[in-house]
Amino acid sequence: MEDLTVIILAGGKSSRMGEDKGLMTLFGKPMVEYVIDNAKEVSEDIIIVSNNNNYKKFGFPVIKDKFPDKGPLGGIYTGLLNSNSETNIILSCDIPYIKSGLIKFLFYQSDGYDITIPIHQERIHPLIGIYKKNCVKTFEKNLQIGQLKVTKAFGDLITNIVEADEFDEIEFKNLNSKLDIPPL
C-alpha cells in the first residue's frame, strides 16, 4: 500500500511477562516477528519503536522513545514523528495473530479521518489502528501535561471507530503474560 508506514510498538516494560514481550519466543520465533510478517504484506516501510537495540536484528529502523516511560502514547508519538508517511498503522508487538486483512480493512476505512481504530465485541483497540501524521501535535500536548491514556489523547482529532466483529477474536488478542499464550 502506498504511503503507509507500519509502526510497531515494542517499548513496553513487559512487567507481567517478565521478559521483553516482542522478543519472547512463541512457537519457535520471536512474537514481534509474527507482527512483522503480516505487516510486510501491506507495507515494507516498517519502524519499530523500542529502547531495546535487539530489535535491530529484524532489519528495520529501531527508534528510541522521544518521551521515555510514557507508555503507548509516547511510542505512537515517537513513531509518527519519525514516519515519512501521512498514513500509519500502529501495531503493538504483542498481537502475533493479527492478519493483513484487518490492517487493509482499517486502511480503507481511514479516508477523511485522523484516527481509525477497531471496536471488536464492544472493546476498542487503540493499539491496532490507522493514525495520520497530523496527530503529532495533539499527542505531544498530552504527553507534556502527563495525560498518557491513548483514547483520551484523541481530543478534537477526527476519530473513526469501526465495527470489526467480522474478524476473528484471536487477531485482537494481546499476550500480556505467559498465561495468555495458548498451548500448542
Summarised one tens digit per residue, pLDDT across range 83-140 is 999 999 999 999 999 999 999 999 999 999 999 999 999 999 999 999 999 999 999 9
Identify the residue with better confidence: 48 or 67: 48
Among 9-13, 43-47, 92-96, 98-102, the minimum mean pLDDT is found in 9-13
How far, in Å, CA of 91 to CA of 68, rounded? 18
Residue 65: is its pLDDT beyond 80?
Answer: yes
| CA nearest to 83, candidates 111, 56, 60, 51 | 60
Residue 22, strand partner residues: none
Mean pLDDT value of segment 168-173: 92
pLDDT at 49 over 90: yes
Please give the pLDDT value at position 166: 96
Please list the residues that pair with 88 across neighbouring strands. Answer: 5, 131
With bands split at pLDDT 50, 70 and 90, how would you rate the model's confidence at 20?
A: confident
Say if pTM beats, i.e. exceeds, 0.85: yes
Q: What pLDDT is stored for residue 183 in this prediction?
A: 56
- What the chain holds in terms of domains, given with CATH numbers, is 4-180 (3.90.550.10)
Q: Is the pLDDT at 74 greater than 90, yes or no?
A: yes
3-state secondary structure the chain: CCCEEEEEECCCCCCCCCCCHHHCEECCEEHHHHHHHHHCCCCCCEEEECCCHHHHHHCCCEECCCCCCCHHHHHHHHHHHHCCCCEEEEEECCCCCCCHHHHHHHHHCCCCCCEEEEEECCEECCCEEEEEHHHHHHHHHHHHCCCCCCHHHHCCCCEEEEECCCCCHHHHCCCCCHHHCCCC
Q: Which amino acid makes up residue 167?
A: F
Average pLDDT, the chain: 92
The contacts of residue 43 (CB under 8 Å, 6+ apart) are 1, 4, 5, 6, 89
For the cut 70, the answer to whether the pLDDT of residue 178 exceeds it is: no
Give dist(CA 98, CA 119) in Å, integer: 14
pLDDT attached to residue 161: 98
Check residue 11 and give its pLDDT.
78
Q: Is the pLDDT of residue 182 over 70?
A: no
Which residues make beta-bridge pairs with 161?
117
Residue type, 92: S
